[in-house]
A and B are shown apart, each in its own frame.
Chain A
Amino acid sequence: MTIHQGIEISGLSHAVRGAEILAPTNLKLPAGRITALIGPNGAGKSTLSRLIARIEPPVTGRVLVNGLDVATTSTDRLARELAFLGQHSWLASRLRVRELVAFGRWPHCKGRPGPADRAAVDRALAEFGLLPIAGRFLDTLSGGQAQRAHLAMTAAQETPWLILDEPLNNLDLAHARALMAHLARLRDGGGSILVVLHDLNFAAGWADHVVAMKDGRIVAEGTPADVLTAPALSSLYETEICVGEHQGRPLVLHHL
Chain B
Amino acid sequence: MRAGHLWVLSATALGLLAAASLMVGAARIAPGDPMAALVLGVSRIPRTLAAILTGAALAVAGVVMQQIVRNRFVEPATAGTPEASAAGLLAVTLIAPDAPIWLKMAVAALAALGGAALFAALIRRLPPREVFLVPLAGIALAGVIGAGVTLVGWQADLMQYISIWLMSGEFSGVIAGRYEFLWIAGAAALLAWFAADRFAILALGPDAATALGLSPVAVMRLGLVVVALVTAMVVVTVGMLPFVGLIVPNLVARVMGDNLRATLPVVAMTGAVLVLGFDLLGRIVIHPYEIPAGTILGAAGAVAFLWLLWRGDRDAR
- A: which residues have CB within 8 A of B? 50, 53-55, 74-80, 83-86, 88-96, 99-100, 103-104, 106-107, 110-111, 137, 139-140, 153-154, 157
Among A50, A88, A95, A106, the residue within 8 A (CB) of B212 is A106
Among A55, A77, A103, A139, the residue within 8 A (CB) of B204 is A103
In chain A, what residue has the closest Cβ to B215? A75
Q: Are B203 and A92 in contact (CB under 8 A)?
A: yes
Given contacts A88-B207, A89-B205, A111-B197, contact A78 B213 (CB under 8 A): yes
How far apart are B221's CB and chain A's nearest CB, in angstroms?
A: 15
In chain A, what residue has the closest Cβ to B207? A86
- How many Å lie between the Cα of A111 and that of B196 in the bound state? 9
How far apart are B135's CB and chain A's nearest CB, in angstroms?
A: 13
- How many Å lie between the Cα of A62 and that of B72 in the bound state? 39
Q: Are B211 and A85 in contact (CB under 8 A)?
A: yes
Given contacts A88-B205, A92-B72, A93-B200, contact A75 B259 (CB under 8 A): no
- How many Å lie between the Cα of A91 and that of B259 in the bound state? 13
Q: Are B201 and A103 in contact (CB under 8 A)?
A: yes
- How many Å lie between the Cα of A80 and that of B66 in the bound state? 28
Q: Are A55 and B207 in contact (CB under 8 A)?
A: yes
In chain B, what residue has the closest Cβ to A92? B70
- How many Å lie between the Cα of A84 and that of B213 in the bound state? 11
Q: Are A107 and B67 in contact (CB under 8 A)?
A: no
Q: Are B213 and A80 in contact (CB under 8 A)?
A: yes
Given contacts A93-B204, A139-B317, contact A106 B197 (CB under 8 A): yes
| Chain A residues within 8 Å of B71, by CB | 92
14 A-B pairs with C-beta separation under 8 A: A75-B210, A75-B215, A84-B211, A85-B211, A86-B208, A92-B72, A92-B203, A93-B200, A95-B200, A99-B257, A103-B197, A103-B212, A111-B197, A153-B208
Q: Are A99 and B259 in contact (CB under 8 A)?
A: yes
| Chain A residues within 8 Å of B317, by CB | 139-140
Given contacts A84-B211, A106-B213, contact A95 B258 (CB under 8 A): yes
What mask results when residues 203 to 227 of chain B are scored 1 for a CB within 8 Å of chain A, else 0?
1110110111111000000000000
Q: Are B259 and A95 in contact (CB under 8 A)?
A: yes
Q: Are A106 and B207 in contact (CB under 8 A)?
A: no
Top 3 nearest A-B pairs (CB, nearest first) are A79-B213, A93-B258, A111-B197
What mask results when residues 249 to 260 of chain B are scored 1 for a CB within 8 Å of chain A, else 0?
000011001110
Give chain B interface residues in 54-72, CB to chain A under 8 Å: 66-67, 70-72
Given contacts A86-B207, A93-B203, contact A107 B212 (CB under 8 A): yes
How far apart are B127's CB and chain A's nearest CB, in angstroms?
A: 15
**B316 in contact (CB, < 8 A):** yes
How far apart are B188's CB and chain A's nearest CB, in angstroms?
A: 19
| Chain B residues within 8 Å of A83, by CB | 211
Among A55, A85, A94, A106, the residue within 8 A (CB) of B257 is A94
Q: What total of chain B residues lie within 8 Å of the partner, measured CB to CB? A: 30
Q: Are B207 and A84 in contact (CB under 8 A)?
A: yes
Q: Are A94 and B215 in contact (CB under 8 A)?
A: no
Q: Are B211 and A79 in contact (CB under 8 A)?
A: yes
In chain B, what residue has the closest Cβ to A98? B259
Q: Are A91 and B203 in contact (CB under 8 A)?
A: yes
Q: Are A53 and B211 in contact (CB under 8 A)?
A: yes
In chain B, what residue has the closest Cβ to A76? B213
Q: Are B205 and A157 in contact (CB under 8 A)?
A: no
How far apart are B271's CB and chain A's nearest CB, in angstroms?
A: 18
Give chain B interface residues in 252-311, CB to chain A under 8 Å: 253-254, 257-259, 261
What mask results when residues 170 to 213 of chain B are scored 1 for a CB within 8 Å of chain A, else 0?
00000000000000000000000000110011011101101111
- How many Å lie between the Cα of A15 and that of B98 in the bound state? 53
Q: Are B212 and A104 in contact (CB under 8 A)?
A: yes
- How many Å lie between the Cα of A140 and that of B261 in the bound state? 22
| Chain A residues within 8 Å of B214, by CB | 75-76, 79, 106
Q: Are A77 and B213 in contact (CB under 8 A)?
A: yes
Among A55, A96, A137, A139, the residue within 8 A (CB) of B211 is A55
How far apart are B140's CB and chain A's nearest CB, in angstroms?
A: 21
| Chain A residues within 8 Å of B253, by CB | 93-94
How far apart are A59's CB and chain B's nearest CB, in angstroms?
A: 16
Q: Which of A77, A104, A137 has the most CB of B within 10 A?
A: A137
Given contacts A94-B316, A139-B316, contact A54 B201 (CB under 8 A): no
How far apart are A73's CB and chain B's nearest CB, in angstroms?
A: 10
Q: Which of B67, B213, B214, B261 has the most CB of A within 10 A?
A: B213
- How many Å lie between the Cα of A104 and that of B204 in the bound state? 11
How far apart are B104's CB and chain A's nearest CB, in angstroms?
A: 36
